[in-house]
Structure 1
């Protein structure tokens, strides 16, 4: 039986962006609460209650947990747990998504599609093919630090990418890993069960409270 180590996938760019947004919100919001006059502190509190959970939901919260028996998808407003036996496919297009055998689709927010990354991977593949063709014909590859026939570390001949596999964007590489786990564990007895979906009330609750408080303050003028 194939054993799979638990893996966690998150978006580094989303984590960085969310941290910066939260730092900015805390700086402006706390200053308004401490130093504001009249209804300003209450308005700032309402805005923080409304905005901070939204920022957390769409930047820090998304994650994909791939375990031996199940795939756990933590999206901004829902948590979806799919036993591997219930996963029909993992699809990549303009978004990455998991498709359950019931036909339901769930987007993988933590694994965004990067068209730029795909273009870079395609360019690496083109460069690798050019190096392979040059090596097959006995020609030296120009490039690297010293130009003719020297790789990036000064070695003569084609670059080290000759022996690498096909270049893949990071998101596509992760999806390949998830497909491998699905194929290895999909028939396991411990990887069967029902798909469960839970709403993120810890996000929805504060957002609703902030929206109500802000609406009341605006109504009072």
Structure 2
């Protein structure tokens, strides 16, 4: 019984503060975008609901922006022992990413009007995923979470570049972008591995301290 209680106490300490109010505030913008991605794919299954997909995209971006505005005035929320921070800086960048995503969404729909069967559902889901990746990167506080955000941004962009599969130029652009991104990701991981080997940590806060002259 004592061992079981000790184990439960250790688990409780491990997850303590994971979903407190500041942590939830930090995660709500990502949750809004994730809900938008899922909604875009689900509404496309029914022809009558597909027309509401545009409203769903706008609602997801608006909800993300609203949560980011609230985050500007709240305490810093940390998730997973400081691996992700939700603060005023990440919220400001998040608002910038939402604005960019909205502009890209408005511009792209005019581009796809020439197609007989435009892949708008896939496009909207991929675009929201890219915005989520940028949002995750803005709050990342260690090298691993930053890399996850980078890939969440990059992979949808590869697919968006090659989305018009009927055009050879589009497929070629997607392939070239993928090869360039894969090479860049490999370089990032190599550099992150060197930093971890030299410092013993992937935390950006710890690396900032160790970056003082003579520490590394």
Structures share a fold, TM > 0.5?
Answer: no
What TM-score comes out, normalization by structure 1 length? 0.28
Name which structure has the greater RCO, CA cutoff 8 Å, separation 6+. Answer: 1
Structure showing the higher helix proportion among its residues? 2
More strand by share: 1
- Structure label with greater radius of gyration: 1
